[in-house]
Structure 1
Amino acid sequence: MSWAEIYSAFVAGERSLSLLTLMADLRILVAVAFVHAVWQRSLTVATLSGFLAAAESGITASLPPAFTPVVRELCPSCTTSSFGTEVPVWILVVVAAMLCNAVALLDQNSDTSLGGDGHHGVDESTDALLPTTERQLGYLLATLSGYTLVITFLSIGIVSSPFVEALPNINWRTAGGLGLCALVFYEFVTTKAGFSLAALAAVVWHTSFAALQYDTALSEFLVPTATLLTISAVGFMYSKSIEFTRQRRRSTHGSQPRDGA
């Protein structure tokens, strides 16, 4: 049975699932988080993803035939076909991570020479000068909930790893999956990606309700996860909506002509 068929049976109450089964396609979520990290120039996640991809070389990607001459020079061992050239994914991820760090370094040097502060990707310059208490409270609540989730997943993954083995009921694959989940959550929380967190929360809530049909601890684990994801998503989206309203009022008042003009 495919993962989709297993999950459909799980939702219908015909088959229980383990935590490892739920994280079977975690690489898709990790790929989304990596693209998001490169887009937002989140260097920590981009660099960690590069190291993780370098350790996993079993997945390949097919590049279009137009890239075949260049790929043959850079990677003579890569196989080619009529569909294109198959390149190990870890090479692409490592190259993307290196380019992301290089661009950020060049931008930082450029801003330093121009008197800039060198911060890009996430606008944090207004966080220390916010006049709106509600926005500060929303960000604080969202950040605390998100990082609590990150620390929890990472801690469980570490104590259940083969190096510690404090939780023998969680195997090393599940422990690694929990660590990857922590990395994904960290990317979305540190970049204040409220909509991405909301999408994750919706998926986890759906799985949580389905898990209530079974007498397992899976729902006891998923419900708090979905709750923290929801709090973090709502906090970030609420704070951004307040900031958007404040900026719109400023622009509206600034565009009004002055008396006597």
Structure 2
Amino acid sequence: MIPGLLRRWGHILGLSQTRCAHCLRPFLPAGDALGASANDDVAGAAAPLCPACRTLFSPYRGPRCPRCGLPTAEARASGQAVALSRPDPESRCGQCLNDDPPWDSLAYYGLYCDALRDALLRLKFDGELSLAPLLGACLLEASRCLPSPDALLAVPQHPAHLRRRGFNQAHELAKALHCLTGLPLRPELLRRTKTGPPQAGLSATLRRRNVLDSFQAAPQAHGLRLWLIDDVMTTGSTLAAACLALRSAGALQVRALFVARTPRHG
């Protein structure tokens, strides 16, 4: 009886409220108000979402290329997918038929638009590191289709770029996933040895040239099964270059895992 009274007074006084990890508004956790668990959120207790934002972070489950994750033309035209669709291994897009990506498989949470795009931009350019647990939880949900790896690592930044920005958003996501899963985090396995202009705004051809031979993997990557983590994939040029470096060092498997996929090659 006493615990119930304390909870009721906590609700009245606002002591049971939690701030949404996305919009930062206070709200009453679903477990108390609706009889549901906080873990019903994509992030759960680590980075809870209010009811309004919870609906904005739905995963993309529509048809897509099984190799690069590009949504099919039909899905792009409709703007959204209404039904769960498992990638057909025979339904590769034209680009992957001509140039198969170097990773073993990939997984991502959603499309790079709306609330997910907003959260990723705030993390990357505004330095809102408090969003890393939420986006890390998105990675966790996306990774459920992948076999467990020996280690996690993020696509690294060049040291000069890292000094200017002060953090690597991909590494922050990898750290969040490490905290959620306990999987080893091995950033020393890959480093970026060459810098160039930002990938944003470049054509697909220039993106590939820009990252050519930009990464060097450590010998310790030999024989390991790895999840290679990034925030967003557009053409896949950066992920491919990093993957090839790990392959050259003898990595047994490399699977690309990222939060969001741009809806079309750019």
Band the TM-score falls in, shorter-chain normalisation:
under 0.3
TM, length-normalised to structure 2: 0.22
Larger Rg: 1
TM, length-normalised to structure 1: 0.22
